[in-house]
Structure 1
Amino acid sequence: MSQENTFDNTAVAFALKSDSELERAYFLFKMISKQPLVRIGAAATNFALKVNLPVEGLIRATVFDHFCGGVNESDCEPVIDKMYSKGVSSVLDFSVEGKETETYFEAAKDKIIRIIQFAKEKEAIPIVVFKPTGFGRFALYQKKGEGRAFSEKEQEEWNRIVERFDAVCKLAKEKEIEVLIDAEESWMQDAADELVEDMMRKYNTDGTIVYNTLQTYRWDRFEFLRASHERAKAEGFSLGLKIVRGAYMEKERERAEEKDYKSPICDSKVITDENFNACLKYILSHLDDISIFIGTHNEESTYIALKMMKELNIVKNDSRVWFGQLYGMSDHISFNLSKLGYNVAKYLPFGPVKDVMPYLIRRAEENTSVAGQTGRELALLKKERARRKLV
């Protein structure tokens, strides 16, 4: 199956890119392929922004516009409309990270509510997303997950987190917009999992609105999936699950070593891939109870999903199955899948340039650490450049 060439059509993959955008993408991935350059570039960018050097225009014209849709929702509209002309939907992702005040948490909740209202008016945005720590302090999730008692003040703070989750999920249900809730570090995730499951209990009673996220680089996630499925069946609600490999590997391993506990991360990339594929197969085999958002840039896993859908007679555009990639990456998967008739959505990050930089730096660092990812992007861009020269 992996020998198929479904994703090799670069004319389809890059149809929306002008020649200059294609050149910019090639230049960026060339830079990202050099690890020392990424480290130096990240440090220099952080410094320049910190001391207010006038670099925002340069960032906006290069890395920001390649990986982000804009600085606000309406700024994203041209990108959203352009992608939807090729059948690719958008998941608006307000990618401001690392803020920890009640004022910010309230503003983030209001922002997601505005995005849901905005999405209701645009067929191209069937799904929204948020991070648990966008709505509350990391340390509070950690304390809750560890079963430690809250002070009265902390309990009030936790109640506000629950209210924010509820306000978003309630509106999403009313507007029929699906909500993906991201996963984060393992030592805060238990509390987030519990809270997301409560939202599913409440809002996934007649169809799937709320989705939790499984990071399959964690070796315990397949058992977690099965246990969640059993509870959902017993209690009469449907599961929504986004499956990804995961984004905090180095941090997870370092903490496990530092605190002397068994790392939650699979021992190798091969085992992670097996775990991802096992979760994928399990969910596709239980679509009556579980809806899936397959978040992957991995061609092999995508081929497995396509093959299983065919074997199980799952129609290509079944509303319970979505494929997703990040904006600015893996266009060869997204646009070729869409052309074949599958449900595809791009995660479209947006936010003020300065505030989105931590996200962009993380993206660049992840690309350098994923074996083959950047090389594949470069090879496809090179192929498309050559094809256009012949046209």
Structure 2
Amino acid sequence: MNQHPALSFDNTANAFAYKSDKDLKKAHFLFSCMGIAPLVKIGTRLTPWAIKSGLPVKGIIRNTIFEQFVGGETLEQTAKVADKLGAYHVQVILDYGVEGGEDGEHGFDHATDEFIRVIEYAATQKNIPFMSIKVTGFARFALLEKLDAASGDKSGFEGTVHTEALTPEEKEEWNKVVARMQRICTAAAEKGIGVLVDAEESWIQDPVDALTMQMMALFNKEKVVVYNTIQLYRHDRLQFLKDSHQTTKSRNFLLGAKIVRGAYMEKERKRAAEMGYASPIQPSKEASDRDYNLALEYAIAHLEEIGLIVASHNEYSNLYATKLLAQRGLPMDYPHIHFSQLYGMSDNITFNLAEAGCPVSKYLPFGPIEDVIPYLMRRAQENSSVSGQTGRELGLIKKELQRRKSAK
């Protein structure tokens, strides 16, 4: 059995070595604000409106929440952040923050070109092994919704997209979506960059799953190029992970699985209540945590057939993954495992995993402020609603500021 070094997420000197005192104080102020729920509620409503109305708020956003959670407005700006992280053995998952094209097919083609540009750029950098895409960046939401409504329960993990309900024009539109996805994955396979397909809302997820599975069948024969994102705050996703694995195994290709807890909880529950169907969300946080850790157990037990990305801000789950590796006698840097946290959050996990020799990255979005606003509003809501997350971040920042003060 491999002897893994004792891992602790309490070492703030490691966690914040890349941040100056000024950076830390700014982060302290920001997380303090995000701990005030009424402020977040007002801010998340007013900010998108202010941007759309052309009010001069970009400077404030750029110097606060944008700087904390986003790499930059351009790839070139983001490169500086990636280099800084690389100095501490932390890799990067690049995410071009586009969500849903405003100008139809032209916008979707443009987003596809941007995704390919990101892949080509990542291939020139030694610490950017992955990039992230959202299918809603190059496919119309309502089209995905219609496909989802027509899909069977098994369509996602079997890779079957049911297009019978579509008009001839919509079928042609869907074919363009498939072609865009294939272009992106072809570029990624040629350049040796992994593609992480983001999860979407449950009512458009089935066609996204099916399309992702089709791409895995094409590109994951020898190595894992394409990864699906599996949200364990949904009560059906542990089984989905197992079913997906059985499909890839029977068809002789590798499964790529990025496992997360989830990002659309309030929206999902609200829609289910309004439309009178059973919520897809777990009944409790404990149920979500249980399924997440069971998903870790399952994936790590089949690591030779599954490329796993442990995308989590939960300290226990990250530690548990390293313990499962040790139990199976696998090294921390086993080729089929990777850890990841969002840029601007949980530095105590990321940098201490890196220090222990684990392959770990920051999920680093970039793009014009107006394009990344939906992402930023989710981060603000998440940090005000995730139990204890803001308090944890603040506590660690305070601890490090105090440590630095004492060391002077």
Verify the 8 A CA contact 2:130 2:196 in the aligned structure 1: yes
Per the alignment, residue 12 of structure 1 pairs with 14
1:5 CA drift (Å): 6.6
**TM-score normalised by the chain length of structure 1:** 0.97
Q: Kindly provide the CA deviation profile for residues 216-269 of structure 1, in whole angstroms up to 9, marking residues without a partner as x.
A: 011111111111111111110000000000111111111111221111111000
Verify the 8 A CA contact 2:116 2:187 in the aligned structure 1: yes
1:146 CA drift (Å): 2.1
Per the alignment, residue 386 of structure 1 pairs with 402
Is the deviation greater in 36-45 or in 356-365? 36-45
Residue 135 (structure 1) aligned to one of 134, 138, 150: 138
Verify the 8 A CA contact 2:14 2:348 in the aligned structure 1: yes
3-state SS in 2 of match to 1:110: helix
Q: Does 1:280 align with 2:296?
A: yes
Q: Kindly provide the CA deviation profile for residues 190-223 of structure 1, in whole angstroms up to 9, marking residues without a partner as x.
A: 1111110000000000011000010001111111
3-state SS in 1 of match to 2:381: helix
Partners in 2 of 1:43 and 1:261 — Cα distance?
A: 27
* Structure 2 letter corresponding to 1:258: E
Per the alignment, residue 337 of structure 2 pairs with 321
Q: 1:47 to 1:186 in 2, by over 3 A?
A: closer
Question: What aligned pairs does 1:12-91 form with structure 2 within 5 A after superposition?
Answer: 12-91=14-93
Verify the 8 A CA contact 2:12 2:348 in the aligned structure 1: yes
Gaps of 5+ in 1: none
* Structure 1 letter corresponding to 2:37: Q
Per the alignment, residue 198 of structure 1 pairs with 214
Residue 174 (structure 2) aligned to one of 145, 158, 161: 158
CA RMSD of aligned residues (A): 1.2
3-state SS in 2 of match to 1:162: helix
Residue 374 (structure 2) aligned to one of 352, 355, 358: 358
1:134 CA drift (Å): 0.8
1:306 CA drift (Å): 1.0
Residue 120 (structure 1) aligned to one of 101, 105, 123: 123
Residue 346 (structure 1) aligned to one of 351, 357, 362: 362
3-state SS in 2 of match to 1:315: coil
Partners in 1 of 2:299 and 2:52 — Cα distance?
A: 45
Q: 1:227 to 1:56 in 2, by over 3 A?
A: same
Equivalenced residue count is 388
1:55 CA drift (Å): 2.0
Is the deviation greater in 58-67 or in 17-26? 58-67
Q: Does 1:376 align with 2:392?
A: yes
Is the deviation greater in 20-29 or in 137-146? 137-146
Q: Does 1:233 align with 2:249?
A: yes
Partners in 1 of 2:240 and 2:173 — Cα distance?
A: 27
Per the alignment, residue 252 of structure 1 pairs with 268
1:365 CA drift (Å): 0.4
Partners in 1 of 2:283 and 2:264 — Cα distance?
A: 14
* Structure 2 letter corresponding to 1:131: K
1:43 CA drift (Å): 3.1
3-state SS in 2 of match to 1:146: helix
3-state SS in 1 of match to 2:348: helix
Verify the 8 A CA contact 1:96 1:359 in the aligned structure 2: no
Per the alignment, residue 264 of structure 1 pairs with 280
Q: Kindly provide the CA deviation profile for residues 318-364 of structure 1, in whole angstroms up to 9, marking residues without a partner as x.
A: 12101000000000000010011000010101111122122111110
Aligned sequence identity (%): 49
* Structure 1 letter corresponding to 2:336: R
Residue 104 (structure 1) aligned to one of 91, 102, 107: 107
Verify the 8 A CA contact 1:325 1:346 in the aligned structure 2: yes
Per the alignment, residue 200 of structure 2 pairs with 184
3-state SS in 1 of match to 2:221: coil
Per the alignment, residue 185 of structure 2 pairs with 169
3-state SS in 2 of match to 1:332: helix
1:98 CA drift (Å): 3.8
Gaps of 5+ in 2: 1-5, 151-163
* Structure 2 letter corresponding to 1:52: G
Partners in 1 of 2:290 and 2:128 — Cα distance?
A: 31
Partners in 1 of 2:274 and 2:63 — Cα distance?
A: 40
Q: 1:146 to 1:90 in 2, by over 3 A?
A: same
**TM-score normalised by the chain length of structure 2:** 0.93
Which stretches of structure 1, 4 residues or longer, exceed 4 Å deviation after superposition? none
Per the alignment, residue 157 of structure 2 pairs with none
Partners in 2 of 1:5 and 1:242 — Cα distance?
A: 22
3-state SS in 1 of match to 2:361: strand
Verify the 8 A CA contact 2:7 2:352 in the aligned structure 1: no
Verify the 8 A CA contact 2:100 2:141 in the aligned structure 1: no
1:46 CA drift (Å): 3.0
Partners in 1 of 2:385 and 2:7 — Cα distance?
A: 25
* Structure 1 letter corresponding to 2:311: G
